A and B are shown apart, each in its own frame.
Chain A
Amino acid sequence: MEDITPADSVVPVYLVPLTEEELAEREQWAIEAAEREAAEEAKVAAKETAKETAKAKLAALGLTEEEVLALLG
């Protein structure tokens, strides 16, 4: 381990270099994390779209905006 203790640290700080295998594993994790994030964003967007569609359909049935909001919150 390499001692990389900064001047303002009260205890030693050591650096362990990552192996090639660990680096590859972390790259894969980063890809998976990006996919999770994209999936989450898509889920939120789909929910918003469905909410707007529902509002439009309810309005077409004759509900006032207040009544629609009371239903959907």
Chain B
Amino acid sequence: MAIDFPSNPTNGQVYANYIYDSSITAWRNVNTDTGIGTLNAMGLKNVVPSSVVVASGSATVNGNGLVTFSGATSIALDGIFSSTYTNYKIVINANVATGENWIELRLRSGGSTITSANYAYTIRRGESGGTISTDNSGQVNALTAVSGPNAGGNTHTFDINNPFLLTFTNWFGQSESVLSAGTFNMATFGGMYKAATSANGIIINPQGSNLNGTIQCFGYTN
């Protein structure tokens, strides 16, 4: 599938990982073309997955790598981690039609989900009623299990470092959830995949109702 560039672009217009250069009347790849110093110096860049796998439901991916899904029981993004970047940011916005949900995240490699019990995480959670709690996972088979979305929706934003390198993978982030009872919680979570494994993707597993929302991955310029 070819990238569908906007018609009649203006100089400096950005689309996916390309910027339009009117002096040569061409789109230039900000990751591979030379002489785009200012843009290459910028921190975050869109990452477009090589493929997306959903269990039930549907998904679509636009030229900026934004994955929009609905009715999914899991959403896997493959080909987002590579040698191009070492560290990444992942942003998830999600909601379900009814009920409450929890989300598990796992790494992927070669199109398969990594389920070895090498994940360990800590979540510090504060609820709007004033309750503060901490979960320590020990070594389990999921990257994190964060309080999930309901009709009110929720958001997870986290950095994940070294997923593609043959070393331990670390992550740290925050989430916010609105519960249908009128309360909400905010959580800070972090952890580690404690094995020298190279991953090139990630999967979201909501535990409960099917999930609607978006997920996007960005790479930090090395």
Residues of A within 8 A of B (CB): 1, 4-6, 8-18, 22, 26, 29-30, 32-34, 36-37, 40-41, 43-44, 47
21 contacts between A and B (CB under 8 A): A4-B54, A5-B1, A6-B58, A10-B1, A10-B48, A10-B61, A10-B62, A11-B51, A11-B52, A12-B1, A12-B51, A13-B51, A13-B54, A15-B53, A15-B58, A17-B55, A26-B73, A30-B99, A33-B101, A33-B207, A41-B181
- Return the chain B residue nearest A44 by Cβ: B181
Asked, given contacts A41-B180, A41-B181, A44-B183, whether A16 binds B1 with beta carbons under 8 Å apart, the answer is: no
Which residues 51-76 of B have a CB within 8 angstroms of A?
51-56, 58-63, 73-74
Give me the interface of B with A, judged by CB distance under 8 Å: 1, 3-4, 16, 48-56, 58-63, 73-74, 99-102, 129, 150, 179-183, 207-209
Chain B residues whose CB sits within 8 angstroms of the CB of A34 once the complex forms: 99-100
**CA–CA, A22 and B4, complex, Å:** 37
Shortest Cβ distance from residue A54 to the other chain B in the assembled complex, whole angstroms: 16
Q: Which of B53, B60, B129 contacts A9 (CB 8 A)?
A: B60
Q: In the bound complex, do residue B209 and residue A15 qualify as a contact, i.e. CB atoms below 8 Å apart?
A: no
The answer to whether B1 and A11 have CB atoms under 8 Å apart is yes
Do A14 and B52 contact each other (CB < 8 Å), given the known contacts A29-B207, A37-B179, A44-B183? yes
